[in-house]
Structure 1
Amino acid sequence: MTVPRAEADAADRRSLHERIAADLRDRILSGDLAPGAALPSTARLKERFDASNATIQKALQLLKDEQLVVGRPGAAVTAREHRQRTVRPAAFMAPATAGDPYRWLTENERNGLRGRVTLLEVAERVPPSDVAEALGLEASGTALLRHQLLTIDDEPAELVSSYYPMEIVSGTAMTERRKIPGGTPTFLAGLGYPPRLAVDRVSARIPTQEQHRALRLPGGLPVLRTLRVVFSDDDRPIEATVMVKAGHLYELQYEFAAG
């Protein structure tokens, strides 16, 4: 079915090649175009979207930059085995068993993936307003920031900024620029603050310059931003973490009991 140009322009301000890429991207990520399946021919796409050959090629180039399709001159453009991963946040919450690595690492290893955590910064900082509110900080109050980049199979996966109340972590190994054996949930539990409840707020945002660069994002695709607040006994907030990942590469899966 051909999409009338005037009707599409009235409803969507994006460039035509961005709109075409968005439609094809959705079919790939939803599984309608399985890995190895040929995309509609250039002729069919030109007819459907009332677009020029150059516009179709620009749309396909966006998908190639995102590593969602592959194509060579003279051959059909096909969907790649895309890298969208399902993340189950509940799998990483519990403290690791004594002597075991951080659960994020072991969960990836269980799925045949090689995870790595690179510590970028450890410092006392005034956190963003939503983080400060979550931790119950007063105006201009500070918290300990542990800023990390997570990679999977040497590709950037997530940019993580975790904040902790200074009255809990001051004078501990958390303030040192080194990794925490077993991860921070295990360390906090050892301090007498076991994680009991986590509340996630997930939003889609346009990436900042740092996020775009660190995650090596193609084009102007959005990121998924999760603000996770972790509570210990007596509903005390012990951690507020901002996690940012590429929106086209990840989906989040939450499980809820009925009733």
Structure 2
Amino acid sequence: MGQPFTDPRSPHQKIAAEIRRRITRGDLPPGSKIGSTAELMAQYGGVANTTVQKALQMLKAEGLLEGLPGKGVYVRPHAQQSIEPITYLKPAIPGEPYPWISEATKRQQAGRSQLLDVNVVVPPAEVAHALQLQDGERAVMRKQILLLDEQPSELTRSYYPLSLAEGTAILEKKRIRGGTATLLNTMGFPPREFTDELSSEIPTEEEVAALHLPKDMPVLVAFRVVYTDEQRPIEATFMTKAAHRYRMRYRLPIE
């Protein structure tokens, strides 16, 4: 047998990983005070003060911890949030904003979307296959950033068959009130079903910049395909989030 594998990370990365996991699993809920430097030094085998400080600084950069002068270091509100995808797929009630904004309000957060780009493109192969497009057939790509309390939360790239989008607001370089699901519903294409494929990936340069990601932080990428009646695909979307800040929640019936 070969040599046993050991964790090659530096001591401060290991400590940060332990504290991060306690935060994401709820053992350190929002508002919890982290132990003092001396307590953490003793807890982690007598490591140096600088090692503890580097671990805490890493978690502050990730948005999980915040230092309050004269009080200590605490877990930030909304350090990690659960997302229930079905909530955002339902068309908005007429006159209501995009569901992302409505759901943020329920959590006492300010949510908004910022449209970055609208273009007619030849989509990636995965998208073309999902939308059942022919070789070289084009689609409309809408790119936007979703923000919570003015902090970037999710980068989305949504694709729609050009044959479906022509002559509609999907092609316009402005936000759609209620979101595209609401528009498609009014066009006679209600969302009936969706599939999600989730992966943890190394972020691209665009994703690091858009989401203000700290160094070496992976992203959670959900590739979603939405279908209307008769299993017709009407939307394919890449949704990219900081992997340490969110988890996806699904509730499905067991037949």
The match for 1:221 among 203, 217, 220 is 217
Instruction: Report the equivalent of 1:195.
Output: 191
Closer, same or farther: CA 170–41 of 1 in aligned 2, 3 Å = same
1:219 deviation in Å?
2.1
The match for 1:55 among 51, 55, 61 is 51
Instruction: Report the equivalent of 1:3.
Output: none
Closer, same or farther: CA 50–142 of 1 in aligned 2, 3 Å = farther
Instruction: Report the equivalent of 2:23.
Output: 28
Instruction: Report the equivalent of 2:154.
Output: 158
Identity %: 42
Tell me if structure 2 keeps the 8 A contact 1:20–1:49.
no
The number of residues matched between the two structures is 252
Aligned residue identity for 2:14: R
Tell me if structure 2 keeps the 8 A contact 1:21–1:62.
yes
The match for 1:132 among 111, 128, 134 is 128
Closer, same or farther: CA 244–49 of 1 in aligned 2, 3 Å = farther
Instruction: Report the equivalent of 1:123.
Output: 119
Tell me if structure 1 keeps the 8 A contact 2:225–2:236.
yes
The match for 1:99 among 95, 102, 115 is 95
Instruction: Report the equivalent of 1:230.
Output: 226
Closer, same or farther: CA 142–22 of 1 in aligned 2, 3 Å = same
Q: Does 1:173 align with 2:194?
A: no
Instruction: Report the equivalent of 2:6.
Output: 11
Tell me if structure 2 keeps the 8 A contact 1:69–1:80.
yes
Instruction: Spell out structure 1 runs of 4+ moving beyond 6 A.
Output: 72-75
1:141 deviation in Å?
2.7
Tell me if structure 1 keeps the 8 A contact 2:142–2:158.
yes
1:183-238 Cα deviation digits (max 9, x unpaired): 11111122221111011111111111111111111222111111110001110100
Instruction: Report the equivalent of 2:82.
Output: 86
Query: What is the alpha-carbon distance in structure 2 between the residues aligned to residue 187 and residue 222 of structure 1?
Result: 33
The match for 2:252 among 248, 252, 256 is 256
Aligned residue identity for 2:59: L
Closer, same or farther: CA 40–138 of 1 in aligned 2, 3 Å = farther
Instruction: Report the equivalent of 2:105.
Output: 109
1:108 deviation in Å?
1.6
Query: What is the alpha-carbon distance in structure 1 between the residues aligned to residue 24 and residue 36 of structure 2?
Result: 16
| Unmatched segments (≥5 aa) in structure 1 | 1-5
Query: What is the alpha-carbon distance in structure 1 between the residues aligned to residue 187 and residue 218 of structure 2?
Result: 37
Aligned residue identity for 1:22: A
Tell me if structure 2 keeps the 8 A contact 1:121–1:177.
yes
Deviates more, 1:130-139 or 1:231-240: 130-139
Query: What is the alpha-carbon distance in structure 2 between the residues aligned to residue 119 and residue 47 of structure 1?
Result: 46
- CA root-mean-square deviation: 2.3
Closer, same or farther: CA 231–48 of 1 in aligned 2, 3 Å = same
Instruction: Report the equivalent of 2:200.
Output: 204
Secondary structure of 1:106's match?
A: helix
1:245 deviation in Å?
1.0
Tell me if structure 2 keeps the 8 A contact 1:101–1:182.
yes
**TM-score, length-normalised on structure 2?**
0.89
Closer, same or farther: CA 167–250 of 1 in aligned 2, 3 Å = same
| Unmatched segments (≥5 aa) in structure 2 | none
Tell me if structure 2 keeps the 8 A contact 1:159–1:245.
yes
